[in-house]
């Protein structure tokens, strides 16, 4: 399961370091890649990120940067000091270009967030976009490719069409992954682990199906087995 293990990212979407540390301890060597987003980052998660990197784990900082060019660039420079493997920013062209320049010559994989997997066409209309989710995803994906980004974050439902746009080399990271029969929660565009890989995803982000499981290690192993198959 080595290949699958490198492609499974467990989302540490928990409220404090004690719970996050318990998750990491319970999963042990089963998992090698963790995502830290707003919730944990604002509760000491950036220090945990440094610890995970020191322990040989990979870290995906899901911070979705978006600001003026200088602020985005300085934020990327600070992230480089943490040693994270991946960092997200919203896929707006100016922000992406600033981030790419700041990370040039490093191993940090910058990921453009296209359309959140909790959003559907009605949500986009409410936000003022007169475009359907898939069309906006593809527009953002092309802009990310032109900016020199390392990859894309999108729903697995759009992974195949995004792959056609960005070519073979960019990472495609897909949240909203749910094992067959599991609760979708607030996600609206979801897919099983195996189907996501078949659709062209390179990395799968799985949070609640593992973190909320009674036996987290067993849940992770089940997902890895599905990915391997």
CATH number of the domain bearing residue 84: 3.20.20.70
Among 16, 29, 55, 62, the active-site one is: 62
**Torsion on CA atoms 199, 200, 202, 203, rounded to nearest 10:** -30
**Which is nearest to 171 in space by CA: 146, 126, 133, 141?**
141
How much is the pTM?
0.91
Owner of token pair 């040693």: 83
Per-residue buried b or exposed e for 16-53, using 16+ beta carbons within 10 Å of the residue's own CB: ebeebeebbebbeebbbbbbbbebbbebebbebbeebe
Inter-residue contact 139 to 162 (CB < 8 Å): no
Does 188 belong to an annotated binding site? no
Longest Cα–Cα distance of the chain, Å, equals 46
User: pLDDT higher for 94 or 186?
Assistant: 94
Our count of domains for the chain comes to 1
217 part of the active site: no
Does 29 belong to an annotated binding site? no
pLDDT higher than threshold 50 for residue 40 = yes
Range of the domain at 207: 2-228
Note the pLDDT of residue 186.
46
pLDDT higher than threshold 80 for residue 91 = yes
Among 47, 55, 67, 217, the active-site one is: 67
Does 80 belong to an annotated binding site? no
Does 35 belong to an annotated binding site? yes
Give 210's pLDDT tier (boundaries 50, 70, 90). Answer: very high
Note the pLDDT of residue 187.
46
- Residues 73 and 64: their CA atoms lie apart, in Å, by 13
57 part of the active site: no
Among 6, 29, 47, 64, the active-site one is: 64
User: pLDDT higher for 97 or 132?
Assistant: 97
Does 178 belong to an annotated binding site? yes
120 part of the active site: no
**Which is nearest to 119 in space by CA: 132, 106, 101?**
132
- Residues 61 and 83: their CA atoms lie apart, in Å, by 10
Does 69 belong to an annotated binding site? yes
């Amino acid at each position: 399961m080595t290949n699958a293990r490198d492609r499974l990212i467990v989302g540490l979407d928990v409220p404090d370091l004690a719970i996050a540390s318990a998750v990491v301890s319970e999963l042990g060597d089963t998992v090698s890649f963790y995502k830290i987003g707003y919730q944990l980052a604002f509760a000491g998660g950036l220090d945990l990120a440094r610890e995970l990197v020191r322990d040989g784990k990979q870290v995906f900082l899901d911070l979705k940067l978006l600001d003026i060019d200088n602020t985005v660039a300085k934020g990327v420079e600070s992230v480089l000091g943490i040693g994270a493997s991946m960092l997200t920013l919203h896929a707006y062209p100016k922000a992406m270009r600033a981030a790419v320049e700041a990370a040039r010559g490093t191993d940090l994989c910058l990921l453009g967030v296209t359309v959140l997997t909790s959003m559907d066409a009605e949500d986009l209309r409410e936000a003022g976009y007169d475009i359907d989710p898939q069309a906006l995803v593809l527009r953002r994906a092309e802009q990310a490719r032109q900016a020199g980004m390392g990859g894309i974050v999108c729903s697995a439902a759009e992974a195949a069409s995004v792959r056609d746009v960005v070519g073979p080399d960019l990472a495609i990271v897909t949240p909203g992954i749910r094992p067959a029969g599991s609760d979708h929660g607030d996600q609206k565009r979801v897919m099983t682990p195996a189907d996501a890989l078949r659709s062209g995803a390179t990395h799968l982000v799985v949070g609640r199906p593992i973190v909320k499981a009674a036996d987290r290690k067993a849940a992770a192993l089940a997902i890895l087995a599905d990915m391997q198959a």
